[in-house]
Structures are given as C-alpha cells and as structure tokens.
C-alpha cells in the first residue's frame, strides 16, 4: 500500500534579474505538476520567476531523486565533480524550459539543470541504483532517455551557445 509522501520536497522559485520596468506583454507563468508516492523520495525544484518554465514530475518507490545518501554512486562521481550538480535537483533558469520526469523503483538518483531558452527534457527511470544527470545550456536542446534495470549511469551535457 503506497503512502502519499511530500515530506522532504522542496519547491523554490526566485528571480535572477531585476527589471527597471515591468515586462511588457503577457506574463510567462511557470507551471509545476508534482506527484510523489512511496517512501523517502526527495526532489528540489527551482524555477526562475515568471519565465514560462514547465515541469511535470512523478516519483514513486523508495529513496528516489536524492537517494538514501544524497550523493552520486561512487562510479558516477567523477563525471559530475566539476558541475556540482547534486542528486535530487531540477533547476530551470532562462526562458521556457520544459521537463517531464518519471522515476520509479528504488535508490535511483536524478538531477537536471536547464538554462538558456526552450530546452526540453523527457526522462524515465525504472529499476534500482540508476544514475542520470542532464545539463542543457543555450537554445533549443532536446534530451530524451529511458533507463530500466540496475546500476545504469547516464550523463548528458548539451550546449548551443
């Protein structure tokens, strides 16, 4: 029987730019859909204010997102040392980023940072002890992946500046 668990969820929004005048035209609202079931699933979502970001996140199972320890599995650490991208983090900055993430199973770690404009991410992780990290910068990058099984590791870095 699953419990609805939102205990360790952090959702933050902040502005990265100060405008002397209010933006012209329609406001770009951010949208977030978050469904978390199971036990000890953790994710922190950061969307810059009024930037048209969309995040649709579903996490089920046990210890997914940040995982039990909050650290990348040993074999995956060297790939992300320079980036300082922590497990259980989704950051959307810039304009009009889109992310759809589905995580199920046990002890799966995930993180993404989208900056720039109009980057898209579709991610599905199912299984145990999987690692996935995505960094998208620039304009118009698209990343789509699916991990199934145990101890799979994925690192994607895209830039179009």
Domain count, the chain: 1
Judged by DSSP in three states, 80 sits in helix
Report if residue 12 sits inside a domain. Answer: no
Q: Which residues pair with 128 in a beta bridge?
A: 106, 150
pLDDT in tens, 87-128: 899 999 999 999 999 999 999 999 999 999 999 999 999 999
pLDDT reported for residue 49: 84
User: Cβ(92)–Cβ(71) under 8 Å?
Assistant: no
Instruction: Please tell me the distance from the alpha carbon of residue 44 to that of residue 107, in angstroms, as a whole number.
Output: 16
C-alpha angle 55/19/12, rounded to 5°?
30
Full residue range of the structural domain in which residue 66 is found? 31-159
pLDDT reported for residue 119: 96
Query: Which two three-digit tokens encode residue 152?
Result: 């799979």
Give the helix, strand, coil percentages of the chain, each rounded to 5.
Answer: 5, 50, 45
pTM of the model: 0.79
Report if residue 67 sits inside a domain. Answer: yes
Over the chain (161 residues), the average pLDDT of each successive run of 10 is: 37 32 58 95 91 96 84 65 79 95 96 94 96 93 97 89 68
Judged by DSSP in three states, 76 sits in helix
**Phi-psi region at 40: left, alpha or beta (left = phi > 0; alpha = psi -120 to 50):** left
């Amino acid at each position: 029987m699953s419990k609805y668990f939102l205990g360790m969820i952090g959702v933050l929004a902040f502005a990265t730019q100060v405008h002397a005048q209010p933006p012209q035209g329609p406001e770009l609202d951010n949208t977030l859909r978050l469904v978390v079931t199971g036990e000890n699933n953790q994710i922190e979502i950061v969307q810059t204010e009024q930037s048209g970001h969309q995040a649709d996140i579903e996490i089920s199972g046990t210890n997914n997102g940040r995982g039990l320890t909050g650290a990348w599995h040993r074999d995956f650490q060297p790939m992300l040392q320079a980036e300082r991208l922590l497990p259980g983090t989704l950051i959307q900055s810039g304009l009009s980023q889109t992310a759809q993430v589905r995580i199920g199973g046990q002890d799966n770690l995930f993180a993404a940072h989208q900056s720039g404009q109009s980057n898209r991410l579709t991610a599905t992780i199912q299984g145990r002890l999987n690692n996935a990290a995505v960094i998208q910068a620039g304009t118009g990058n698209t990343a789509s992946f699916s991990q199934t099984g145990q101890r799979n590791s994925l690192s994607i870095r895209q830039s179009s500046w």
